[in-house]
């Protein structure tokens, strides 16, 4: 009875709970939130100052007593209380036009493949404590495959490479299950770190994380495409300690990221090598589907194709693949219930 009552006042929502960004899908409305997974915390009062986009604007500009926290590291919960605060904020934001008191939504959350039972439980508990009446988890490669319309329940091989902020998920899916997969702790954030390290070691220039990310987006590439591009970066000179401006090229960024990109490519090849031959034949015909924010990196699809000899396809909205998959599951819950993550403990609706 209470479930029916709460459903009248709640919007069922799907969440792609990413290390870099959190996306929220509302049943019947589509993706309504796309904000950074960041929380600004006042260390003196232990109060949350800002969440999401407003917290990102504070990066590098806060006094000592305010710190910017990423509650998820490498795709898993690293700070339970802050994750709960962030989820609660997004749930309230979705229900801002209604009565928040009665908002107890059913939530489907995308999580990385190969995370532990303890890590899954942390996500579920944070969601329940944030106000969900029911929480279901779905592995991100599976959600992405559903989100881009792949026939995941048929006896054919579907290969997903999801390059996110904290993790890269590589999986082959058939008959409603993941046949073989690898989850890497190498993705967009690691590429930012690579650029900062390169700037420090080769240019003797200290960069902030935001600057590194901006230059990656502007001229970053995994494989040489077109003419050389340049960008200006500004940071602090290691020797003098004073501000300095440097012109950097896409070849420099490619060199900075090359080791991490190579690990991603080798992992894609490893998943293919451990996939049954019949499913490899399907993947060769149907292609590798590249999703996540990392799919925007210039030339990465061409590089995967060159190394695997398999066509690479990038959907129209690769960043929304996982959250759209969560939304499709909400819209067709009984049909997709079997692909949800099954934990050892049963879900007890609140």
So what's the pLDDT on residue 287? 96
* Ramachandran sector of residue 347 (left: φ over 0; alpha: ψ -120 to 50; beta: rest): beta
So what's the pLDDT on residue 12? 87
- Asked whether residue 234 falls in the same domain as residue 310, the answer is yes
- Asked whether residue 332 falls in the same domain as residue 236, the answer is no
- Asked whether residue 161 falls in the same domain as residue 134, the answer is no
- Asked whether residue 132 falls in the same domain as residue 177, the answer is no
Q: Read off the CATH number of the domain in which 179 is found.
A: 3.30.420.40
pLDDT digits (tens, 9 = 90+) for 173-206: 999 999 999 999 999 999 999 999 999 999 999 9
Tell me the mean pLDDT in the region 217-228. 90
- Asked whether residue 158 falls in the same domain as residue 132, the answer is no
- What's the mean pLDDT when you consider all of the chain? 89
- Asked whether residue 162 falls in the same domain as residue 247, the answer is yes
- Asked whether residue 118 falls in the same domain as residue 83, the answer is yes
Walk across the sheet containing 158-163 and list its strands: 177-184, 168-174, 158-163, 288-291, 312-313
- Asked whether residue 118 falls in the same domain as residue 31, the answer is yes
Highest-confidence range of 26-30, 84-88, 97-101, by mean pLDDT?
84-88
Total domains present in the chain: 2
Is 85 or 60 the better-scoring residue by pLDDT? 85
Is 58 within the bounds of a domain? Answer: no
Structural domain range at position 249: 149-314
Is 345 within the bounds of a domain? Answer: no
Is 42 within the bounds of a domain? Answer: no
Is 346 within the bounds of a domain? Answer: no
Among candidate residues 167, 229, 261, 244, the one with its CA nearest the CA of residue 199: 244
Is 274 within the bounds of a domain? Answer: yes
pLDDT digits (tens, 9 = 90+) for 319-329: 999 999 999 99
Q: Are strands 158-163 and 134-139 parallel, antiparallel or unpaired?
A: unpaired
So what's the pLDDT on residue 6? 45
Determine the Cα–Cα distance for residues 170 and 272; give it in Å rounded to an integer: 10
So what's the pLDDT on residue 5? 41
């Amino acid at each position: 009875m209470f479930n029916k009552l709460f459903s009248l006042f709640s919007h069922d929502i799907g969440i792609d709970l990413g290390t870099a960004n959190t996306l929220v899908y509302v049943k019947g409305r589509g993706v309504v939130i796309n904000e950074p997974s960041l929380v600004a915390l006042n260390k003196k009062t232990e109060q949350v100052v800002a969440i999401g986009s407003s917290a990102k604007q504070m990066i590098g500009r806060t006094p000592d007593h305010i710190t910017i926290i990423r509650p998820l590291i490498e795709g898993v919960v690293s700070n339970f209380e802050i994750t709960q605060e962030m989820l609660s904020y997004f749930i309230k934001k979705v229900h801002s036009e209604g009565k928040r008191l009665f908002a107890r939504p059913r939530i489907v959350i995308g999580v990385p493949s190969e995370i532990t039972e303890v890590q899954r439980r942390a996500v579920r508990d944070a969601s329940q404590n944030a106000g969900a009446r029911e929480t279901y988890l779905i592995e991100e490669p599976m959600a992405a495959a559903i989100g881009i319309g792949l026939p995941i329940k048929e006896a054919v091989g579907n290969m997903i490479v999801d390059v996110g902020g904290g993790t890269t998920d590589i999986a082959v899916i058939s008959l409603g299950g993941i046949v073989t997969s690898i989850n890497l702790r190498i993705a967009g954030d690691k590429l930012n770190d690579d650029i900062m390290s390169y700037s420090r070691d080769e240019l003797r220039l200290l960069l902030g994380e935001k600057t590194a990310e901006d230059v990656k987006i502007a001229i970053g590439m995994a494989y040489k495409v077109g003419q050389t591009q340049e960008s200006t970066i500004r940071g602090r000179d290691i020797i003098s300690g004073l501000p300095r401006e440097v012109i950097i090229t896409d070849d420099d960024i490619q060199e900075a990221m090359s080791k991490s990109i190579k690990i991603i490519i080798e992992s894609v090849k490893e998943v293919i090598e451990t996939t049954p031959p019949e499913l490899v034949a399907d993947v060769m015909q149907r292609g590798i589907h590249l999703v996540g924010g990392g799919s925007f990196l210039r030339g990465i699809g061409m590089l995967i194709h060159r190394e695997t000899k398999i066509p690479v396809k990038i959907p129209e909205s690769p960043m929304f693949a996982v959250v759209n998959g969560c939304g499709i599951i909400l819209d067709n819950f009984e049909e997709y219930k079997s692909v949800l993550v099954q934990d050892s403990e049963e879900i007890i609706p609140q």
